[in-house]
Amino acid sequence: MQEKSRIRNQIITVIAATLATLCGGYHTGWTSPSLVKLQAIDSDLPVTGAQGSWIASIFSIAFLPGVFISGLTVNRWGRKTALLLTAIPNSMSCILIVAAQNYWWFYVSRVLAGLGSGMACTVIPMYLGEISEDRIRGALGVMIDLMDSLGILIAYSVGPWVSREALGCVGLAMPVLFALIFSWMPESPHFLVMKDKPEEAEKSLKWLLRRSKVASEDMVKMTKNVECNETNSKGTIKELLMEKGNRKALLIVTVLMTAQQVSGISAIRAYTGLIFSRAGATLDVGMAHIITGAVQFIGGLLGMFIVDHAGRKPLLLSSISGCILFLVGEAAYFQLEAMEFDMNSISWFSAASIVGYLLSYSIGLGCLPFVILSELFSYNVKTIATMWAIVVISISAMVVTKLYQLIADTYGIHIAFWGFAGATLLTGLFFYFVLPETKQRSFNEIQKELRSTKASKMAVEKPPSVC
C-alpha cells in the first residue's frame, strides 16, 4: 500500500503529460472518418483521392520541424515548457478544421497538427524517463501509446456521427485541457539539476515521490548521474555515431521506428473506413471505426500492465508475430478477391484481420519503441537520439502512407498488404538477434550489454556504480 501511495504522483504527472499525445492521437484518427465524408459525392468540401492522400500523409512529414523546435527548447527552457508549447499548434490546427473553406485549409491544419505532435513525441519520452522510477518506467512509458490510442478512439467514435465543425471543436478541447492540467505538474528534477537548481530539483522530487523529505542518497545519485553524463558525454552527433554503445542503440531505435511504419500502421489508420468499404463489409463504417479504435486502446492497456512483467523483447516479438499473421490474412483476402473469387460469404474476414492486426500492434510494436528508446541512451544524447527517431518515423510514415495509396490503386490492395507482412517479418528477425532486454535494468547494465563486454554478463548480479 505504501509503495502504491509513493508512485501515485508519478502516475498523475504521466497522465497529465501524455494528454499531449491524446491530441496527436486525435489528429491521427481524424483522417479515417473524415476522408470518407470529404471524398463522398455529397461532400460540402470535395476532396479527390490524390488530395486525400496528401491530407493523410502530410501530417507525418510535418513532424520534422516540430522535432527541431523541441530540440532547441527542451534543454534550454525545460521539458515542461517545451511540452506546453505543443498546445499552440494543436489548437490552431483544430480551428482551421472548423473554419476550412477548401482542401488547402486541411493541408495547413495537418501541418500544424504534425508540428505539435512532433514536438510532443520528442519531449515526452525524455520527460517520462526522468520522472519515473525504474520499476514502473516501462508501464508509465506505455502511457504514451495508450493516450495516442485513446485520441484515435475519440476521433473514431465521434467523427462518423457529427459534422466536420463539431469534430474540430472536440479536437480543440484536448490541447486546452492539456495546457490547463499540465501547467500544474513539476519540471523534471534531472533537468533542474542540470541547470544547477538543486532546491527546485529537491522540491520536484519530493512531490514525485510523495515524501516530506527526499533521502540524501536520491539527490546524490541524481546529481552524480548528471555530472557523470556531462563529464563523459557532451551530447554531440559525433558521440552518438562514434561510441559503440550509442551506435548500436541508434541502429536498434532506427529499425524500431521503421518497423512501426512498414507494418502499415499509418496507412491502415488513415484508410480504415475505405479498406472496410473496399472489402464490402456489412458492418457500418462508423461502428467499424469505433471497434478498431477500442481495440487499439485495449491493446495499449494490456501492454501497460504486462510490459514490466513479460519483458520488452518477448512482448515485442509476440506483437510482431501477431501483426505478420493478420497482415497475411488481410493480404490473402484481397488476393482472392483480385482472383475474382466470391468473397461475400466471408466479407467479415477482412475486418477481423484488421482488428487482429491492430490489437497485436498495440500490445507491443505500438507502445514499446519509445519505452526502449528512453532506456538505451544517456540523458545528454537522448535529445538527439529522440529527434532522430521522430525524423525516421516522419519520413517512413509519409512514404508508407503515400505508397500504400499508389500501390493499391496501381497493383491492388493485396500487394500492399503482402509488402507490409514481408517487411514486418524482416524487422522481427532483426530484433530476435539484436535487441537486448532492458526490463527493470539500470542504464549502466544496458550500456554494458550494448558494448558486448564480459562485464555485461555480471551486470544483473552486481549492478555497477553510478559512473
Model confidence pLDDT, tens digit, residues 173-217: 999 999 999 999 999 888 888 888 888 888 888 888 766 565 556
The chain-wide mean pLDDT, for the chain, equals 83
For the chain, percent of residues with pLDDT exceeding 70: 83
The predicted structure's pLDDT at residue 41: 84
- Could you give the CA distance from residue 387 to residue 377 in angstroms, rounded to a whole number? 12
Q: Residues 147, 19: contact at Cβ < 8 Å?
A: yes
The predicted structure's pLDDT at residue 281: 59
Quickly state the pLDDT bin for 257 (edges 50, 70, 90): very high
Quickly state the pLDDT bin for 460 (edges 50, 70, 90): very low
For the chain, percent of residues with pLDDT exceeding 90: 34
Q: For residue range 333-367, what is the model confidence (pLDDT) as tens digits?
A: 999 988 988 877 787 888 889 889 999 999 999 88
Residue at 316: amino acid letter: L
**Strand ranges inside 169-315, DSSP E:** none
DSSP 63: H
Q: Residues 133, 7: contact at Cβ < 8 Å?
A: yes
| C-alpha cell belonging to residue 274 | 475505405
Q: Residues 96, 108: contact at Cβ < 8 Å?
A: yes
pLDDT at residue 81 tops 80: yes
pLDDT at residue 231 tops 60: no
| C-alpha cell belonging to residue 285 | 463504417
- Could you give the CA distance from residue 357 to residue 320 in angstroms, rounded to a whole number? 9
Burial class of 462 by CB neighbour count within 10 A (0 to 12, 13 to 18, 19+): exposed
The predicted structure's pLDDT at residue 208: 85
Which of 76, 96, 85, 87 lies closest to 24, judged by CA? 87
Count Cβ atoms below 10 Å from residue 247 Cβ, excluding itself: 15
Phi, psi of 454 (to 5 degrees): -65, -30
- Span 16-21, average pLDDT: 94
Phi, psi of 435 (to 5 degrees): -70, 125
Cα 44–chain centre separation: 33
Tell me the pTM. Answer: 0.78
Rounded to the nearest 10°, the torsion over CA 14, 76, 391, 91 is: 60
Residue that is written with C-alpha cell 533537468 in the block = 191
Please, what is the Cα angle at 22 between 288 and 400, to 5 degrees?
65
The predicted structure's pLDDT at residue 456: 37
Contacts of 196 (CB under 8 A, 6+ apart): none
The predicted structure's pLDDT at residue 187: 93
- Could you give the CA distance from residue 117 to residue 178 in angstroms, rounded to a whole number? 13
Quickly state the pLDDT bin for 113 (edges 50, 70, 90): very high
CA distances from 420 to 256, 259, 367, 400, 449 (A): 15, 10, 19, 9, 31
Please, what is the Cα angle at 208 between 203 and 212, to 5 degrees?
55
pLDDT at residue 329 tops 80: yes
The secondary structure of 82-117 as a DSSP string is: HHHTTHHHHHHHHHHHHH--SHHHHHHHHHHHHHHH
Q: Residues 328, 391: contact at Cβ < 8 Å?
A: no
Domains of the chain, with CATH numbers?
11-185+233-435 (1.20.1250.20)
The predicted structure's pLDDT at residue 53: 80
The predicted structure's pLDDT at residue 202: 83
Q: At what angle do helices 164-182 and 2-17 cross, to 10 degrees?
A: 130
pLDDT at residue 440 tops 90: no
- Could you give the CA distance from residue 441 to residue 308 in angstroms, rounded to a whole number? 11
| C-alpha cell belonging to residue 82 | 517545451
Which of 130, 100, 96 lies closest to 115, judged by CA? 96
pLDDT at residue 27 tops 90: yes
Q: For residue range 395-408, what is the model confidence (pLDDT) as tens digits?
A: 888 888 888 888 98
